[in-house]
Structure 1
Amino acid sequence: MRKVSVVIVNYNVKDLILISLRTLFQYHPNTDLEVIVVDNDSKDGSPEAIAHEFPQVKLIANKFNAGFPAGNNQGFKIATGDYIFMLNPDTEFLENSIDPMVDYLEGHSEAWLVAPKLLNTDGTLQQSYWRYPTLTSVFCESFYMRFLLKKKNYKDKDPNEVFYGETFSGAALFFRKELIDRIGMLDETMFWIEDVEFCWRANHNNYLCYYFPKTKIYHHIGQSAKKNYNISLSNQNYNKIKFFRKHHSKFATFLIVCITLIHVIAKTIVFGLLSPFKEVYYLKFKAYLYTYPRIFNPPNGIT
């Protein structure tokens, strides 16, 4: 069995990452694992808890929040495995998931990256595969018309069968380490859309990505995002602008800016009106105010 480097970036989700690590080691006792955790200056005791319970884990404790792509790149740089498993700290294993993915890549030379089936906490299927962002998809997502995006969300595919896909959730991406040598690491300026952009570069260079539902993993989604709405909501909104700026025309980018601006203004008004009734609405109102000026000049990386 080839060595696998599991890279996890953690930020203030101590209880969840401990579950993730426990189930990782529980279900893979005979797999040659190198586990690397990059902690982004958590204040909840995560580094200490991980070091105490899992001394075999290589722990990088940052003194600042480097963000998800930069944190992963730190792990990639020291990884020594033949394969890399980029994994969120809010994942939980139900079975040996790594060995089947290794076997698939070993038997399919055209495949360079696979993404396992992700399940919500209640056991339902989690949407974790998409076609590339387009003007139409960004518009529909911004204005509550997701029901029109059946093609984007691969509703024409059987989620129980392996299929080629354009982009997958960065919560769990398993790929040949050599892929990094071929296309580079995660783009650290693409915080919150780095997984989409990474898959774009892989597929466009003919290093194909596949959905691999022959194994499944829980993904208790969005726990880190709740810690800082300024970061999560702002990046969710202007990340597509950065993606279009890198991979599309100036005119397409201009249209995305316009769509995003209208969306953020609308959200600011709605949450501003709701803010007296619930703290979470007030926090989101402040986050959209924070986002507004950054639409025109999205920062590189996390701010």
Structure 2
Amino acid sequence: MLNIAVVILNWNGKALLKQFLPSVIDYSKDATIYVADNASTDNSVAFVKDQFPNVKIIENKINGGYAKGYNDALQFVDEDIFCLLNSDIEVTPNWLDPILDTFNTETETAIIQPKILDYKDKTKFEYAGAAGGFIDKYGYPFCRGRIFDTIETDTNQYPNSNIFWASGACFFIRKQVFNQLNGFDESFFAHQEEIDLCWRAFNLNYKAKYVSESTVFHVGGATLNATNPQKTYLNFRNSLFNVTKNASGYLFSLIFTRLVLDGIAGIQFLFQLKIKHFFAILKAHFSFYFNLKKLLKQRKNLPQQKGYFSVKSIVYSYFIKKKTNFSKL
């Protein structure tokens, strides 16, 4: 029987831990619970030690973001299955049982995501993951239950199935696979590093799966909300990192198309008078060019496979053909 560690990465999130850690403790009786602290300055560690003495603490020396934070912390976790859980998630009774059942019975499954619903409206999917993620040919991510900013109501319309990527908000992975992949790419810092990890796993023939019987509720945007230009910067930059490292096919035609599409997005931000977001896209591309040599070297040493995308262009399908529901793609 596999054992599981629930690892919550924290950075100055004392209020979130106070609100959401009790549900994790109450409904995760068979798991070992860790708080991995990214050099917080808000007394988070002392609070957890005082209020939740059975929770194990891992203290990272610096705030290296999501990617480095988990890479550093998971070196000290021995359980067979890692659950990487955001601090702004409310879990539900028996949420771990169907996950562990799947890992125990489906040995080819390396990564799992539960159903992620919106904490603020529990009838709807949540942006970061929904019912499992996919990408198009050009590396733009979307989910069953969420395409761009269109969010579906959950009617149990999405059954268990293989997916391309699982959300980092609640991300289960076998320790052996995480270590084989050398963890997250720390150059991502935050946002879409889980897509890169899943893509590298996919290119090694591992499977990621959505398990609908497990449900969690996610607040979302607790660290960076959607109006923050830094989030725009990281999402656009890291998406380009993903394509360059992992996509099959003729790379430079993919990159050129992305430059055009990202340019259109930037012009749209200008028309909306979101000037900081326009400059965030420019900054993302300059950072991409600066890192291109390193990314091409990584690509050379990573396997690529055909058939990684389920839709050729989600931008065209959504904005031109008006297919805003996943089931209509």
Corresponding residue for 1:251?
253
Deviation at 1:99, TM superposition (A): 2.7
Find the aligned partners of 1:55 and 1:221 in 2 and give their Cα distance: 27
Measure the CA separation in 1 of the matches of 2:124 and 2:179. 33
Q: Match for residue 283 of structure 2?
A: 293
Tell me the alpha carbon deviations over residues 70-101 of structure 1, each in whole angstroms, 9 at most, x when there is no partner.
11111221110011111111111121212321
* Aligned partner of residue 183 in structure 2, secondary structure: coil
Specify which of 58, 79, 85 is matched with residue 56 of structure 2: 58
User: Who is 1:3 aligned against?
Assistant: 3
3-state secondary structure, aligned to 2:196: helix
Residue 134, structure 1, aligned to residue 137, structure 2: yes
Contact 1:10 1:39 in 2 (8 A): yes
Deviations 1:248-288 (A, max 9, x none): 3122123213322332343245235xxxxxxxxxxxx4454
Superposed displacement of residue 244, structure 1: 1.3
- RMSD between aligned alpha carbons? 3.1
Query: Which sections of structure 2, spanning at least 5 residues, go unmatched?
Result: 292-329
Contact kept? 1:128, 1:169, Cα under 8 Å = no
Q: How far is 1:48 from its partner?
A: 2.6
How much does 1:290 deviate? 4.6
Which moves more between the two structures, 35-44 or 68-77? 35-44
What displacement does 1:209 show? 0.9
Partner secondary structure for residue 215 of structure 1 = strand
TM-score in terms of structure 1 length: 0.80
1:85, 1:259 → 2: CA distance? 35
SS of the equivalent of 1:117 reads: strand
Identity, % of aligned pairs? Answer: 25
Deviation at 1:227, TM superposition (A): 10
Cα contact 1:8–1:72 (8 A) shared by 2? no
Give, as a single letter, the amino acid of the residue that structure 2 aligns with 1:110.
E
In structure 1, the residue matched to 2:268 is: 266
Q: CA deviation at 1:52?
A: 1.9
Q: Structure 1 residues 23 and 11 mapped into 2: Cα distance closer, same or farther (>3 Å)? A: same
Q: Could you give the per-residue CA deviations for residues 187-245 of structure 1, whole angstroms, max 9, x where no partner exists?
A: 22233111111111222212111100111111111111139924322102222111111
CA apart distance, 1:63: 5.2
SS in 1 for 2:273: helix
Q: What is the deviation of 1:66?
A: 0.8
Question: Would the aligned equivalents of 2:114 and 2:131 in 1 still touch at CA under 8 Å?
Answer: no
Work out the number of aligned pairs and report it.
276
**Matched residue SS, 1:199:** helix
Equivalent residue of 1:12, what SS?
A: coil
- Paired amino acid for 2:164: E
Change (3 A) 1:165 1:226: closer
Contact preservation (8 Å) 2:5, 2:77: yes
Matched residue type, 1:129: G
